[in-house]
Each structure stands twice: as structure tokens, then as C-alpha cells.
Structure 1
Amino acid sequence: MPVTLRPEELERVLVVTAHPDDVDFGASGTVATLVSAGVEVTYCICTDGDAGGFDPAVARSEIPRIRREEQTAAAKEVGVTDVRFLGWTDGRLEASFELRRDISRVVRQVRPQRVITQSPEYDWDRLPASHPDHRAAGAAAVAAVYPDARNPFTHVELLRDEGLEAWTVRELWLMGHPSADHAVDITDVFDRKLAALRAHGSQTAHMDDLEKLLRDWGGTLAATHGLPGGRLAEAYRTVVCP
């Protein structure tokens, strides 16, 4: 695997996902370990998840508010208080120049050493992880990291109108990647990951097997990456940015 930043080099991390709850399924255990180590973590959520939800008694117009509130509550379960929503339409996300600009804005505001985002590649063994919005968010975030956010001549309005200087991200971690090369042991913070996902009531309240699903998934990832028996993990493809 590529050499990753030493713990003392890591001060700020930005997590970019398509929907509320994506970060909690894919990376909230990792986030909990980062926050416990003193790292500042910010969430950037591209949509409000307005195409989600299963309760016919809830008006569709209420879904964006509900899902923002759920993501804010879930973030607090793992120690994150800085949650930013870009407000793009759920189910119609594209890796457009405009989305790249919006993510680049947050990169320049937060100035993270590491960005965690979704894989822009298909995983044919786990098709739900390759939701079109997930891949679009990942592709736009990767482009924002390289080359957009570091290039002062891309999205010139960010510097001209908002005073946001170019920023170079050191690392990308891609969740849900079919060729993950790095695992984070989340066994000791699993209860916080579970609490974060239960905060997304509109998405998980009907899932009686949520804890088992997460334990099975985390256990498989841990075993795949050589962790001792009984451990749980989240896994990433890590990229050192040029």
C-alpha cells in the first residue's frame, strides 16, 4: 500500500459523500478513531437524500429536513460537529464541473491533509455500493482534490470572490473500492458506528438485523486484511496525491 501520513502529520480530514448515511455505513468507525486521536473531521454531503425514506406517512417535502437532522445527529455520535450540505438533487448527481467547484470550495475552506470519499469505480461484487450518486460524488471529489483545489487557475471565482487560496490534499482514501489496500480496526468504536447508523431512523429503523449486518461486514473486511479473529474493520483504497 502507499505510504500514509504519520499520525502527527494529520490535523484535518474531510469526508465527501453523496447522501446522508453514506459516511456512517462506510467510514464512521474510522472517523471515530480519528476524532479520538484529536483530528478535526468535517463532513461534506452532496445531496439531502431527498429520494430516500420508506414511510408513506411522511410527506416527501419533509425528507430533506429529516435527513439533514439525522446526519447531524449521527455525526455527533462519532464526535463530528462540522457537517456541510451542498444541496444537490438525490438520484441526479453528476460529476459536473459545478459539483467539482462546490467540493473544491469546501476543500479550500477546510484545508484537509486527507480526503475520504466514495469509490468512483464499480464494484461488481457489491453493486449497491456502486450507486450512481456514490460514483459521481467520488469522481467529483477526486477531481476536486486533483487537480482543482490545488490549482489557483481552476474555479478562479473561489479566490477572486471568496478569498479561498489553493490547497493541496496529501492523501485520498476511497471507501467501497473493489481493490482496497488498507484496513482500519474499528472494533473498539463499533458501538459508536452502530449508534450513528441508528440515528438515521428514516433509513435503518426497519432493519432488525442492522447490528448483525455490520458485524458480519466488518468481520469479513478484518479477516480479508489479516486482522486477528474477532476484530472488525473498515477498508479503503489509499492514494498518495502527487
Structure 2
Amino acid sequence: MDRCRAQSVRFGTQIFTETVSNVDFSASPFKVMSDERTVLADAVIIATGAVAKRLEFPGSGDGANGYWNRGISACAVCDGAAPIFRNKPLAVIGGGDSAMEEATFLTKYGSKVYIIHRRDEFRASKIMRNRALSNPKIEVIWNSAVVEAYGEKSLGGLKVENVVTGEVSDLEVSGLFFAIGHEPATKFLDGQLQLDAERYVATVPGTTKTSVRGVFAAGDVQDKKYRQAITAAGSGCMAALDAEHYLQELGAQEGKSD
């Protein structure tokens, strides 16, 4: 990241480490506002990303009292092959397609994979559900929720409560993966850009163009399927090229009007 930043600065980029609180895309130049300043721009690339949803219970957080990044994760593809998970029992929380996909993926590395779901049926598609249920290394714990994570230097087990009976039992696992969806960072875009039903920025297929001409979106803020660093970087390059082409067209149009 430092090398990317240095390259950007070398080409004259001004970098402001500030939080954007509001934008105005109603007219060009566009306005991008923080508490410190308002920046005017002929083109804008939105690359604010998305955050994996996490559950809160004792032991789930960061720091000395939590096991986040010490056995608890929200990305099986990113972390599943780590040595602490290999040939160990693992657990996934969720009931949708992403949970089925992550659990199936983890069977490559874990000795056993538990899917913990607070209901008695999955909301996942039939094909994804059947793929998970037919895998001999996957076991489903229905009608249950994790109420505590514990261990020593890394995660060692979970307290799991049956939401029907209230009974709490111990589940020995070395890894826990949240698979309950992501939340794109788009709240500041309300009323400015078209968002889809899950609040991701809607883009023209095959491009990074949004519903506003001159505004582009790249990375996880517009990608709810792949969510990988390399795909985000690729769409960032696409957005830069789309923005460059737009600015060239804008300059040509202004030249004609002069």
C-alpha cells in the first residue's frame, strides 16, 4: 500500500485522510464534502468497500478478551488455509448461499465443519443447500446460536445455545467463520446514486459507470459476489480508465463549445 501511495503522489495526487460525510452529484463539478473541506471534481470514483457483518457475544471481538483474527474470521477464502485451521474442527454461522459456500470451501482444510443456524431450515438456494448437506464433512447444528467463544492463545471452543430449549452445550472448534453477509459503505450516497436492494452501488454491466454520468464505482462497494482484493484492484483499474475516458470526452465537448 505504501508503494501504491508513493506512486500516486509522484503523479501529483493530493491525499486527504478524512471521512467523507456528504456528496452532491446533482451537477458538475461534483461536490465531495468532509468536516474539513469541500472538494470539487469533474469525475468521482467511489471505492468505499463493504464490511463483513459480525455478531457480538463474549469472546467475539478484538483485543485480549476476544478471538477475532485468532480463530474467528469473516472470510473463509482469505483465511481458511491458515495453519491454525488445517485438520481442525471448524464452524460457520449462517444459513444463506454464502454460508453454504464457505462451509463447503472449508472442508478442504478442516477435519470437520459445523454450520450453526438459528432456524430449522436454510434460506440458501436448493443447489447450494444440497451441496452442503451432502458433504460428509459437514454437520448442521439447527435452531442454535453461539453465545460465547473461549480458548487460550487462539480459539478453542464455543458455547452454543439451542434457541428452542435454552440448553447450552460446548462445541470444540479451532475456527469460527461469520457468513451472514456484508454491508456496503454507501450511507453517504443516499439520494445521490442508484443503489440495489442490498444497498450496493448499481453499475452498468461490464463497466464501473453508475447512474450518474461522471461518477464511477469500484471494488466491494459494487461487488457482492467475488469480494476479493484482486478483483477489487481490477475494478479499480477499470474505474480509472472509465474516468479517464469520460474526462477526455468532457474536455472535447468543452473545446467544441468554446
TM over 0.5: no
Normalised-by-shorter TM-score class: under 0.3
Structure ranking higher on relative contact order (CA contacts 8 Å, 6+ apart): 1
Greater percentage in strand: 2
Larger Rg: 2
The TM-score with structure 2 as length reference comes to 0.22
The TM-score with structure 1 as length reference comes to 0.23
